[in-house]
Structure 1
Amino acid sequence: TGGFTLAAAKGGAREVTAVDTSTEALMLARKNAAYNGMDACCQFIEGNIFDQLRVYNKKQDQFDLIILDPPAFTRGKSSLTGAVRGYKDINLRAVRLLSPGGYLVTCSCSYHMTDDLFRDVVLDAACDADRTVRVAEFRTQAPDHPVLLAAPETHYLKCLVIQVM
């Protein structure tokens, strides 16, 4: 739908680039951007975010804000090790692209990626990128995704906002 894209544009971003593998999602995002009069500042790229971050790193591009909201990297404990590698890689590539003072908003919807593990993975990525960061905010899911005490797997959404110092 382009929710993050439109929010960034409405928030005053001069240029917004959205990357998604889904043709359908990008078509809808383009339509929403046009409908809201924000299509002039929005660019939409169909592709794999890992590949696109690699391209930006090669070009030594810099960004003031990067928002990562990938699909779940794991659905079970058996694939958690691979998910940790995936989250570290995507965050490492993104942190390297941030300008001084820039923000990374990074999300996970994997239940098995606990809050603490997610923070640790993002910190490891920042350390590997040789960047000093501070936690600006940590969020979990909104009330429309209730967490049931009797069902811990309902606590699955997490969002970490860090700033490069």
Structure 2
Amino acid sequence: MKNADIVDFAQSDGLKNLLELKGRIAPPAVFTSGVFDLVHAGHLDYLQAARQLGGSLLVGVNSDNSARKLAKGPSRPFNNAKDRAELIASLRYVDGVIIFGEDTPHQLLKELQPEIFVKGGDYSEAYLRNTDLAGLEHISLKIIPLKTHYSSSNLIEKIVSAYRKETR
């Protein structure tokens, strides 16, 4: 099974490659985005649910600089953007991955024009309509509830706590 295509939107040929990718996918196109640094079962459930909303799923992955700006911390992301994109591209329900450097995927959404934009339940519709989807009212917004027991931050805390106990 072939992995999904990966496009780096920040590269000089990024827009051309993005439009080629959009031309190869089945409509309606569903788009979501995130850092996806420490991927866990909650991410997998979320992406699978997003894919079921349309004919194809495109996933935006924040660049390393963008991830740091999003308050993930100076030591994050742990995995670089290329590695994170390759991991997401390997999922059978992902049809394409786009690395982007902005704080929000607004410009990417403007160029890509997916039919559906999906985010997790930690975002409000009002916030997304005023940021990511500002001026893009024709794009349908779907919010998928998060499973509360999954969290990358909690996973990090668990690892650090276990490490501290083992090294005492």
Q: TM-score, normalised by structure 2?
A: 0.37
Q: TM-score, normalised by structure 1?
A: 0.37
In terms of fraction of residues, the more strand-rich structure is 1
